[in-house]
Amino acid sequence: MATKIYLIRHGETENAHEMRYKGTIDVPLSENGAQQIARVADFLAQRTTLNFVYCSPLGRAQNSAEIIAQRYQIQPIILPQLREIDFGSWEGLNFEEVRAKYPDEFNAWANDPLRQGPVNGETIAQLRDRVTEALDQILANNKDQNIAIVAHGAVNRVMLAQVLGLPLNNIFRIEQDFAALNIVEFHRKFPVLRLLNAVVYR
């Protein structure tokens, strides 16, 4: 037997085309984002039984989790540790605005995100610590179950890097599209990645 994790990024958010650092800003799903997640929910419901759905407390993840959980007539379980990385003073700004306003800090973060964080924000090491705590808690409480985790781009990348044993400085080499589906099986504590960044709604 194995514990199977269906790791899902929330659907597209409103004004996603602006490419802003949203982090802990509580932006809602767009209509398209809700449709993306509904298709993911249909895909899962046709193939597997979920015992539990865990999610970040931020609205875009919580709403996505509710759409999935409805297919199974269960309620999502909110874990604060699954919230998106805190981009601090960069939240609400786009890539070019951050580079123009905080050039030195941006370069430091880009070169070493494990130890250097956005101004007034979190480092990847801090994110790793709370994400690992959440995953350990989920695995300990749900042995040999099928579990969905609905979270965020950076959260998912950290979790996948940990599963694959990748250096955390390289997490942004792992793509996580909106409503991306990843599947990880845990045989005891030995993880096997079965699916990465699958987009099932196109």
pLDDT at 201 over 90: no
> What pLDDT is recorded for position 4?
97
pLDDT at 87 over 90: yes
> What pLDDT is recorded for position 188?
79
Range(s) of the domain holding residue 70: 3-87+123-198
Whether the Cβ atoms of residue 25 and residue 92 lie closer than 8 Å to each other: yes
User: Is 108 domain-assigned?
Assistant: no
Question: At CB < 8 A and 24+ separation, what contacts does 73-80 make?
Answer: 74/50, 76/150, 77/52, 77/53, 78/54, 79/54, 79/55, 79/134, 79/137, 79/138, 80/56
Q: What is the CATH number of the domain that holds 135?
A: 3.40.50.1240
Whether the Cβ atoms of residue 11 and residue 60 lie closer than 8 Å to each other: yes
Cα–Cα distances in Å, from 68 out to 7, 41, 72, 107? 12, 5, 8, 38
User: Is 94 domain-assigned?
Assistant: no
pLDDT band per the 50, 70, 90 thresholds, residue 45: very high
Q: What average pLDDT score do residues 46-64 get?
A: 97
Cα–Cα distances in Å, from 54 out to 15, 31, 68? 25, 22, 10
Identify the CA nearest to 200 among candidates 174, 181, 176, 173: 181
| Nearest-10 crossing angle of helices 31-45, 59-70 | 40
Number of domains composing the chain: 1
- 167: burial class by Cβ within 10 Å (0-12, 13-18, 19+)? exposed
> What pLDDT is recorded for position 195?
97
Count CB neighbours of 173 within 10 A.
10
> What pLDDT is recorded for position 189?
73
User: Is 107 domain-assigned?
Assistant: no
Q: What is the DSSP letter of 12?
A: P
pLDDT at 109 over 80: yes
User: Is 112 domain-assigned?
Assistant: no
